[in-house]
Amino acid sequence: MYPQATASQLLVVGRRQRFDATERAVIAVGAALLGLTGRAGADNAALGSAVTALLLDQPAGDVLAGLLEKGQYRVVVGVPRGRRRNGGVSAFDWLSSRLGNPLVRLTDDGGFTAVVATAPSAEVLEEMRSQGWLAVVSSARPADRLGETAAEVDALTQRARALDRPVRADESAGFGLAAAVAPEAAAGFAERALAPLRAIDRARSGDKLADTLHCWLAHHGSWDRTAAALGVHRNSVRHRIGQVERALEADLSDPQVRMELWFALRWSR
């Protein structure tokens, strides 16, 4: 059932099998369009959620060209600090007004994902932090390539949590070392370096070793902070990092190894 439906307008779609993410996105877009044709005013919250889902979860192609003007866009992701939970429409209205457009999707864990043409200012990011969100901002890409920001946003989010402050892609480059490596070479290096971990992660269910390594590196090798971030016992973190060392045949006490793995995780597609 379309969640933003009113008593006078209701779309119900059912089948025996569970809908996957792509199918739910298609239904959301269809419901939003039906809502626009069936009422005088536009349901901005519904349309924003549907379009953002389309941008991030589905192949874009020619559809995106009709949805957004040509240009560069960024993905803004906010993760909750502490036990924050979104306030429904009020949270959507607050975020869309600060970001300057309705392309905002609230998430079940109290966070949000948005698409913007202009990166939010440092003041807006700090205001979000005061409201209970740690926000990260991706690098700029054309609309039909926004899905490529997933790995980058994940890395930025890990960094934001470790620093407990907002993080932007343009500041995370540091001295520019990452930008000096060609994207194809970076992706190839990441694939080779992480291949043993990816193979193990594909064969197992539950928590992934690559995710644990990423979190552990982001927290500078702190067992306690990594355990808190992952919601597990510190001994579980030690066990997983031991598995990582054996799989990669690497000594994670070596700062050179940590640095190379950090870049591999950042460049991984």
CA angle at 48 for the pair 42 and 49, rounded to the nearest 5°: 125
CA angle at 115 for the pair 111 and 117, rounded to the nearest 5°: 140
Q: Which residues of the chain have pLDDT under 70?
A: 1-9, 21, 25, 28-68, 82-89, 171-180, 269
- Residues 6 or more apart whose Cβ sits within 8 Å of residue 67: 51, 54, 55, 143
What 3-state DSSP class applies to 181? coil
Question: Which fold is adopted by the domain 178-267?
Answer: Arc Repressor Mutant, subunit A (1.10.10)
Q: Which helix (H) or strand (E) holds 189?
A: helix 183-203
What 3-state DSSP class applies to 112? strand
**pLDDT value at position 48?**
60
How many whole angstroms separate alpha carbon 220 and alpha carbon 233? 17
- Strands 104-106, 72-80: pairing is unpaired
Q: Among the residues of 39-108, which ranges form H helices?
A: 44-57, 61-67, 89-99
**pLDDT value at position 29?**
63
Q: Do residues 114 and 75 lie in contact, with contact meaning Cβ atoms separated by under 8 Å?
A: yes
Q: Do residues 193 and 267 lie in contact, with contact meaning Cβ atoms separated by under 8 Å?
A: no
Q: Do residues 136 and 77 lie in contact, with contact meaning Cβ atoms separated by under 8 Å?
A: yes
**pLDDT value at position 59?**
54
Q: Do residues 129 and 111 lie in contact, with contact meaning Cβ atoms separated by under 8 Å?
A: no
Give the distance between the most distant pair of CA atoms in the chain.
64
Residue type (1 letter), 266: R
Q: Do residues 216 and 258 lie in contact, with contact meaning Cβ atoms separated by under 8 Å?
A: no
Instruction: Report CA Rg, the chain.
Output: 20
Q: Hey, where are the domains in the chain?
A: 21-172, 178-267
How many whole angstroms separate alpha carbon 96 and alpha carbon 44? 10
How many whole angstroms separate alpha carbon 62 and alpha carbon 266? 29
Nearest Cα residue to 79 out of 113, 111, 47: 111
**pLDDT value at position 1?**
43
pTM flag (> 0.75): no
How many whole angstroms separate alpha carbon 198 and alpha carbon 256? 21
**pLDDT value at position 62?**
46
How many whole angstroms separate alpha carbon 255 and alpha carbon 67? 46
**pLDDT value at position 104?**
86
**pLDDT value at position 133?**
92
| 60-102 pLDDT, tens digit each | 444 454 556 778 899 999 998 866 554 555 788 889 889 987 7
